[in-house]
Amino acid sequence: MPLVHIGALQLATECAGAADAPVMLLIQGLGTPLTRWPQTLVDRLVDAGYRVIRFDNRDMGLSSRLDALGAPRLAQFFSGQAISPLYTLTDMAADAVALLDALHIEKAHVVGASMGGMIGQIVAARYPQRCLSLTSIMSSSGNPLLPPPTPAAQQALIAPLPFPHNEEAIVKDAVRRQQVLMSPGYPTPEAELQAMFTLEFRRGFHPAGVARQLAALMTGGDRRPLLAGIRIPCMVLHGKEDPLIPFACGVDTAKAIPTAELRALPGMGHDFPFALMPQFADAILSAARRA
């Protein structure tokens, strides 16, 4: 898995598919590495004739860790005080475009999930010349009037990690949190969750990076003015039972983007159910073909 240099940062990157095929750039969400994209989805997109590029965002997985920046003041934020993030979602969108530059890719179909959807929205709005289509999955417009996560989902997001930070404790805790967020209509077996989080822990456990990403997410602001300027084909895919970013957030995102099509998935929460990968692939390819 090569490390691609973008300025002072290095992004762990994985490519699949023919080098001369049109590119799909997949952007993951808060605290999730590139391996969270299901291989079955990647295979479907490659089989459809695309080159699929996944990468670890800054501060995640095997990419550069920005510990020198310090820790964000999340406690102040959750007590209602304003904070300044140590970097922003706009900075992370610039990372994605810089990765395209480093790989000598002029344009790509951008696919983002959760916080990655927010980053993808910014790429599509601020770098329209680099973006062929946008698929925003289980994400939001940033509208402050949208409904919040359920109390259980919010706790799954922000509850303190167990101590000590050993593999057994962290994996067990991650499974418990994911079971709150996962699709009620398509539950993932516990053994699969354990295997996924064990891989992620061994690949790059870095809670300080998650905290900095969370600060960027929480201070991302209302993107609706940006979204109104998007003119490329857009697909908004959202689970109707999402407890973390409620379905209303997907509806609002689709309303904000003039070119958007909304697809609702009953029974889906905030995860990547194996049974829904055909629908995920079809939605992504539909937006790409419209381009």
DSSP string, 72-103: --HHHHHTT-----SS-HHHHHHHHHHHHHHT
DSSP category for residue 197: H
**pLDDT per residue as tens, the chain (291 positions):** 699 999 999 999 999 999 999 999 999 999 999 999 999 999 999 999 999 999 999 999 999 999 999 999 988 888 888 888 999 999 999 999 999 999 999 999 999 999 999 999 999 999 999 999 999 999 999 999 999 999 999 999 999 999 999 999 999 999 999 999 999 999 999 999 999 999 999 999 999 999 999 999 999 999 999 999 999 999 999 999 999 999 999 999 999 999 999 999 999 999 999 999 999 999 999 999 999
β-sheet bridge partners, residue 9: 6
Give dist(CA 64, CA 74) in Å, integer. Answer: 22
Q: Which pLDDT score, from 0 to 100, does residue 1 have?
A: 65
Q: Which helix (H) or strand (E) holds 54?
A: strand 51-55
Taking a C-beta distance cutoff of 8 angstroms, is the pair 205, 60 a contact?
no
- Token pair 């990468």: residue: 55
- Whether the pTM exceeds 0.85: the reply is yes
Q: Which pLDDT score, from 0 to 100, does residue 82 have?
A: 86
β-sheet bridge partners, residue 112: 27, 136
SS3 label, residue 260 = strand
β-sheet bridge partners, residue 263: 237
Q: Which pLDDT score, from 0 to 100, does residue 75 have?
A: 84
Taking a C-beta distance cutoff of 8 angstroms, is the pair 83, 219 a contact?
yes
Enumerate domains of the chain plus CATH numbers: 3-148+207-290 (3.40.50.1820)
- DSSP assignment string, 142-192: --TTS----HHHHHHHHSPPPSS--HHHHHHHHHHHHHHHS-TTSPPPHHH
Contacts of 17 (CB under 8 A, 6+ apart): 45, 46, 49, 50, 51, 52
CA angle 212–215–217, rounded 5-degree value: 110
Give dist(CA 281, CA 56) in Å, integer. Answer: 21
Joined tokens for residue 270: 């905030």
CA angle 235–287–274, rounded 5-degree value: 70
SS3 label, residue 265 = strand
